[in-house]
């Protein structure tokens, strides 16, 4: 590959549905800025044609074309050529697991299947449960089953409001309901809990594809193949490969298609005790494991008891969280994903020819015990066996039914695959989309790839994982923010500082709850931290911020699904929540929040800069999510897809006065100047000595770069770095951030005299 991937800059492209556009043309206009910043590659959100007006691009309706809203193939070619002229490459996010079907008329493959049923040449493209609908595809798109009576025949289509469906040839006579009964699909109410196809998790507007079929793979990847043949892109990020029937097989085909030098990373969410499968032909994952390690390094373990105690004032027993995790997984399997569970159960019965009254219970209990998204990778050979043993131990009455499950999956095949696909969906819906909105101990830990029950990451673990990554996955992606993170990196860093002042935080929360009690304490404890995380330094709450916080509060409460939910919103509770939030924003608490942010400001800045420098210099290829080269107060999507002010960032890059911009630019430029150091240079801990040694984390990359960051600075006190040294390797080291020079052992007070972080380059050989 002509351009080694040294760093990426993530761009969220869209055609203007949010009130502003960011297309290929807008990206092209910013290439000079990205070049000056030091970016190696632009990393584009999905660019295949999505549902019209898509805000994110993950609902592709036509994988054979480049989105016209973004500029079409000509716009992509122009962007690629202009980027290459500056030595910048392109990485593209692809979505092979599913396509968008919310508007069937926009998806030619799906439309053809709905019109022609099993005789469609695309029938085998989709993972359709034909058995469930007696040969018809069940589409849960109606408010209720009775809405079928309101269908209207309009030429060759059936209409109901904005919904449009095709009419099979020769079946269009009669009323809408009569015509509907003759189609290859059956429309039902969405509350029925049945769906006639594999979904992306529980999202009925996204239908799963059967990429394990070579015909499907070739048809879907034809446009992608053209990009590589034309030299337009250098690599891909693969969205949710765990949802596929055979992720390993798929990635083997993909590697053969794009060539041996293309950079491939996969969106793989790893458990704390899980490693990326070493046999996969990829450069690595998209970096959620690194996000957890870096963020956890700045969490002060001394804050755990007090923050746990504060959360338990809401009636929570935190020791019971593992049980709650299993229970929530079981609920997700039996209720949220009940249609997928029923299909798996039927598959087991069909495979072994034996039914059992407790079979569904056994499957649900087993899914609650599997601690990873997918356990059929070779490196996880015993995971499912352990889960079966734990289920048997906890639920001995399920022993006979568990034997049937084991028999059905023993030879691999459809049952084994569907179990694995359901396992990932259950984990996502139970943990990321629910428990992460219930656990209010320290919400910065509630992040994709994280485990809130593990309170931070020790320096020893951090060093070991980084060194291991340097040996095994030196070109994996590292990141702090993505389009899927629950809150932006700087918001997490600010909230993480609360671990250093747990008693102070508890005092403030008690005072606030006494003055403006939240409608539900557990919800309040969760939202207080997020409000603090985005609170403006000047205390001026804009109309936009108010709207963002109201939208977030409602989403968070619904995701938690304790007192309200997306399916059954409790308007009375939500109204009370919104009134409470307005009281917080408009009352005396606002001034107290401003004062607290100011008091903790230096420590917040320390953690923000430390996290960013680590993400840009530890083993792996760092991604800078759009706009995060300056401070960013984003919450969960769609909040993190807001317009980025690049005029401000251009000015900041030119002046280099903003600390975070200084860190980002210096690190990216250093990577570009010393590619071998960062791609192949290994990782070696550098130790500190003295009374404040635990507040320093440092390491060497190759022989010519040392990185040092400070942490837990609230506890340092006025003496700070007295008698504390950093054991720099022999030689003279110049700080790319401050220009100062040091020789080892270097006093920490000198190294951190200007900034709480240092990026040192050897300058004498």
Q: Which tokens hold the place of 503?
A: 């008693």
Residue-wise pLDDT for 549-608, tens only, equals 999 999 999 999 999 999 999 999 999 999 999 999 999 999 999 999 999 999 999 999
pLDDT band, residue 30 (cuts 50/70/90): very high
Average pLDDT in the chain:
96
pLDDT band, residue 19 (cuts 50/70/90): confident
The predicted model gives 139-150 an average pLDDT of 97
Residue-wise pLDDT for 53-96, tens only, equals 999 999 999 999 999 999 999 999 999 999 999 999 999 999 99
| Ranges of CATH 1.10.10 domains, the chain | 498-598
Question: Is it the case that residue 328 has pLDDT exceeding 80?
Answer: yes
Percent of the chain with pLDDT over 90: 96
SS3 content of the chain, % helix, strand, coil (to 5): 50, 15, 35
pLDDT band, residue 765 (cuts 50/70/90): low
| Ranges of CATH 3.20.20.80 domains, the chain | 8-97+211-267
Question: Is it the case that residue 1 has pLDDT exceeding 50?
Answer: no
Q: Would you state the pLDDT for residue 719?
A: 83
Measured at the CA of 120, the angle between CA 116 and CA 122, to 5 degrees, comes to 130
Q: Would you state the pLDDT for residue 241?
A: 97
The predicted model gives 200-205 an average pLDDT of 95
Could you name the CATH architecture of 498-598? Orthogonal Bundle (1.10)
User: Which 8-state DSSP code applies to residue 46?
Assistant: P
Which residues neighbour 409 within 8 Å (Cβ) at sequence distance 6 or greater? 384, 415, 416, 419
Tell me the CATH number for domain 645-762. 2.60.40
Cβ-based neighbour number of residue 655 at 10 Å: 10
| Ranges of CATH 2.60.40 domains, the chain | 645-762
The predicted model gives 350-363 an average pLDDT of 96
N- to C-terminal Cα distance for the chain? 30
Q: Would you state the pLDDT for residue 16?
A: 77
Q: Would you state the pLDDT for residue 3?
A: 81
- Strand order, beta sheet including 203-208: 98-100, 203-208, 199-200
Q: Would you state the pLDDT for residue 17?
A: 73
Q: What is the phi/psi pair of residue 763, to 5°?
A: -120, 10
Residue-wise pLDDT for 114-139, tens only, equals 999 999 999 999 999 999 988 999 99
**CB of 530 closer than 8 Å to CB of 478:** no
Q: Which tokens hold the place of 427?
A: 């984990």
Tell me the CATH number for domain 104-208. 3.30.1590.10
What CATH class is the domain 8-97+211-267? alpha beta
SS3 state at 10: strand
pTM: 0.96
Question: Is it the case that residue 705 has pLDDT exceeding 90?
Answer: yes
Residue-wise pLDDT for 368-420, tens only, equals 999 999 999 999 999 999 999 999 999 999 999 999 999 999 989 999 999 99
Going from the C-alpha of 630 to that of each of 383, 627, 665, the distances in angstroms are: 42, 6, 11
User: Which 8-state DSSP code applies to residue 205?
Assistant: E
Going from the C-alpha of 257 to that of each of 94, 97, 236, 333, the distances in angstroms are: 14, 17, 12, 36
Q: Would you state the pLDDT for residue 100?
A: 98
């Amino acid at each position: 590959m002509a351009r080694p991937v040294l760093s990426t800059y993530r761009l969220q492209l869209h055609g203007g549905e949010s009130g502003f556009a960011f297309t290929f043309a807008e990206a092209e206009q910013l290439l000079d800025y990205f070049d000056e910043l030091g970016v190696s590659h632009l990393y584009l959100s999905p660019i295949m044609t999505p549902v019209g007006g898509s805000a994110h691009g993950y609902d592709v309706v036509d994988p054979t074309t480049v989105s016209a809203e973004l500029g079409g193939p000509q716009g992509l070619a122009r962007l690629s050529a202009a980027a290459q002229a500056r030595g910048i490459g392109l990485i593209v996010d692809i979505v092979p697991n599913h396509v968008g079907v919310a508007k069937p008329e926009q998806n030619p493959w799906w439309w053809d299947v709905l019109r022609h049923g099993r005789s469609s040449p695309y029938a085998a493209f989709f993972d359709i449960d034909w058995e469930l609908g007696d040969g018809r595809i069940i589409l849960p798109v109606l408010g209720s089953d009775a809405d079928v009576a309101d269908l209207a025949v309009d030429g060759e289509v059936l209409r109901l409001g904005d919904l449009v469906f095709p009419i099979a040839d020769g079946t269009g006579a009669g009323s809408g309901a009569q015509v509907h009964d003759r189609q290859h699909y059956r429309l039902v109410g969405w509350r029925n809990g049945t769906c006639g196809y594999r979904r992306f998790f529980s999202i009925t507007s996204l239908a799963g594809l059967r990429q394990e079929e070579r015909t499907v793979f070739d048809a879907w990847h034809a446009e992608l193949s053209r990009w590589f043949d034309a030299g337009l892109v250098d690599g891909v990020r693969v969205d949710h490969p765990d949802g596929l029937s055979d992720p390993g097989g798929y990635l083997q085909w993909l590697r053969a298609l794009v060539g041996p030098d293309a950079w491939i990373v996969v969106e793989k969410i790893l458990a704390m005790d899980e490693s990326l499968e070493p046999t996969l032909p990829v450069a690595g994952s998209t970096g959620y494991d690194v996000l957890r390690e870096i963020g956890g390094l700045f969490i002060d373990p001394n804050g755990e008891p007090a923050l746990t105690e504060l959360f338990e004032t809401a009636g929570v027993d935190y020791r019971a969280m593992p049980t709650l995790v299993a229970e929530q997984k079981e609920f997700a399997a039996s209720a949220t994903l009940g249609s997928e569970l029923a299909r798996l159960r039927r598959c087991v019965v069909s495979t072994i020819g034996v039914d059992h009254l407790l079979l569904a219970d056994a499957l649900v209990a087993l899914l609650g015990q599997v601690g990873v998204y997918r356990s059929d990778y070779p490196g996880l050979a015993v995971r499912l066996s352990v889960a079966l043993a734990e289920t048997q131990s906890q639920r001995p009455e399920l022993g006979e039914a568990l034997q049937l499950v084991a028999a059905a999956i023993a030879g691999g095949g459809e049952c084994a695959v569907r179990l694995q696909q359901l396992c990932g969906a259950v984990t996502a819906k139970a943990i990321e989309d629910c428990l992460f909105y219930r656990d209010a101990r320290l919400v910065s830990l509630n992040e994709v790839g994280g485990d809130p029950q593990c309170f931070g990451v020790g320096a020893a673990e951090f060093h070991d994982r980084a060194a291991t990554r340097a040996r095994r996955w030196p070109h994996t992606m590292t990141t702090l923010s993505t389009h899927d993170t629950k809150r932006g990196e700087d918001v997490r860093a600010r909230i993480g500082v609360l671990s250093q002042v747990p008693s102070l935080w508890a005092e403030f929360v008690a005072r606030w709850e006494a003055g403006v009690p939240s409608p539900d304490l557990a919800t309040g404890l969760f939202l207080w931290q997020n409000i603090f995380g985005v609170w403006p330094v000047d205390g001026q709450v804009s109309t936009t911020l108010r709207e963002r916080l109201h939208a977030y509060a409602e989403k968070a409460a619904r995701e938690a699904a304790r007192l309200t939910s997306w399916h059954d919103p409790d308007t009375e509770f939500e109204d009370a929540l919104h009134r409470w939030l307005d009281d917080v924003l408009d009352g005396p608490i606002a001034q107290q929040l401003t004062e607290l942010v100011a008091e903790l400001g230096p420590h917040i800045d320390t953690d923000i800069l430390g996290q960013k420098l680590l993400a840009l210099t530890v083993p792996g290829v760092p991604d800078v999510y759009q706009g995060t080269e300056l401070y960013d107060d984003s919450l969960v999507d769609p909040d993190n897809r807001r317009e980025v002010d690049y005029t401000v960032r251009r000015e900041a890059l030119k002046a280099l006065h903003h600390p975070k911009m200084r860190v980002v630019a210096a690190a990216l430029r250093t990577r570009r100047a010393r590619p071998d150091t960062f791609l192949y240079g290994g990782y070696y801990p550098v130790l500190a000595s003295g009374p404040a040694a635990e507040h320093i984390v440092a390491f060497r990359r190759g022989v010519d770069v040392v990185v040092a960051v400070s942490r837990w600075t609230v506890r340092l006190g006025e003496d700070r770095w007295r008698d504390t040294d950093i054991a720099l390797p022999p030689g003279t080291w110049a700080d790319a951030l401050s220009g100062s020079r040091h020789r080892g052992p270097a006093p920490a007070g000198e190294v951190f005299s200007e900034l709480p972080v240092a990026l040192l380059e050897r300058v004498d050989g």
